[in-house]
């Protein structure tokens, strides 16, 4: 059964979630494919392991409930990430621990290159640089670099035109590069 599920597409797996007799195995397969991506997104956006764990659980529960009703017809991965994204931002809105991003220029640059370059590992530095991005830039960066989403997938997930996705990615990369300039030149 496990080997058979491995060969199925996402859409086929999700279709099996409608049937209770196959739902458990299908969900386990889908979870094994995308749980790490979802976890990385939650962790990057929420920033706290315990809270990310709550959002992660809610996201998969919502996804299963929707999928079991047969309401996911195409691109389950994008649908899942869309649910995760919405759940993350709802959580942050409800808990008011983060600033709502209206003005990108108002976001302080919390990433201090002077303090971190000398002491941290490379992966830690890039992680901090991405974490310090404004929220809308961070989510497209995470979806692109961590989730491997295409531009069109990102556009679907965040509900914005392709041009917006490209623009945010461009600015995000410029900012990360600026933060890492000294390190990258070494």
Partner 1 sequence: MKNKELIYEYLDGELDPMLEEKLFAEMSVDQELRDEFSHQLKINKFALEDMNTMQVPSETTAAVFANLGFTIPTSVSAKKASPLLLFLKSKRFMKASIAVAAFVLSIASGWWLNELSNSPQAEISTAQACIVNTENTTSNATPNLTTDKSNLFSDNLYRSTRKSRRLMPIASTGLANDAVSNESNTSDIVSNDEISNDIAQSEESSDNDRQAPQVLSYSALNAIGGDFSFAENETALFDYINLGNTSSDFETTLYTRGLRIAKELPVADDKSFFSGSSISIMYKLNDEHYIGGDFGEDEFYQEFYYQHGEQNVLYKQAPNYYWGAVSYKYLPEFLSIGDIAQPYAKLSLGGCKAGVIGKAQLGLNFQINQSLNAFIGGEYNSLFFNIRKDLYTSHKFELLYGISINL
Stretch that binds partner 1, among 71-79, 81-89, 91-99, 137-145 (CB under 8 A): 137-145
Give the interface segment with partner 1, choosing from 20-28, 78-86, 100-108, 110-118 (CB under 8 A). 20-28
Instruction: Choose the binding region for partner 1 from 84-92, 99-107, 112-120, 174-182 (rule: CB under 8 A).
Output: 174-182
Site size toward partner 1, by CB under 8 A: 40
Kindly state the smallest distance separating residue 15's Cβ from partner 1, in Å: 17
CA-to-CA dists, residue 86 to 48, 106, 170, angstroms: 17, 23, 23
The backbone torsions φ and ψ at residue 124, rounded to the nearest 5 degrees and listed phi first, read -65, -35
123 binds partner 1 (CB under 8 A): yes
* Token representation of residue 103: 């003005």
CA 118 to chain centre: 29
User: Contacts for 63-71 with beta carbons within 8 Å, 24 or more apart?
Assistant: 64/17, 64/23, 64/27, 67/14, 67/17, 67/18, 68/17, 68/18, 68/23, 69/18, 70/15, 70/18
Which positions touch partner 1 (CB under 8 A)? Answer: 2, 24-25, 27-29, 31-32, 35-36, 39-40, 43, 49, 53, 56-57, 60-61, 64, 122-123, 125-127, 130, 141, 144-146, 150-151, 166, 169-170, 173, 176-177, 180, 184
């Amino acid at each position: 059964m496990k080997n058979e599920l491995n060969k199925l597409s996402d859409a086929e797996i999700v279709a099996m979630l409608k049937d209770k007799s196959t739902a458990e195995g299908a969900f386990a397969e889908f979870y094994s494919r995308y749980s790490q991506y979802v976890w990385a997104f939650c962790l990057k956006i929420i920033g706290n392991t315990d809270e990310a764990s709550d959002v992660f659980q809610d996201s998969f529960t919502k996804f299963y409930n929707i999928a079991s009703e047969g309401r996911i017809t195409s691109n389950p991965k994008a649908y899942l990430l869309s649910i995760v994204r919405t759940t993350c931002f709802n959580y942050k809105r409800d808990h008011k621990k983060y600033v709502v991003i209206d003005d990108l220029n108002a976001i302080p640059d919390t990433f201090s290159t002077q303090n971190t370059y000398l002491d941290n590992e490379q992966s830690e530095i890039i992680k901090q640089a991405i974490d310090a991005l404004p929220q809308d830039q961070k989510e497209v960066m995470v979806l692109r670099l961590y989730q491997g989403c295409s531009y069109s997938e990102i556009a679907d997930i965040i509900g914005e035109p392709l041009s917006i996705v490209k623009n945010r990615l461009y600015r995000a990369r410029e900012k990360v590069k600026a933060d890492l300039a000294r390190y990258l030149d070494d």
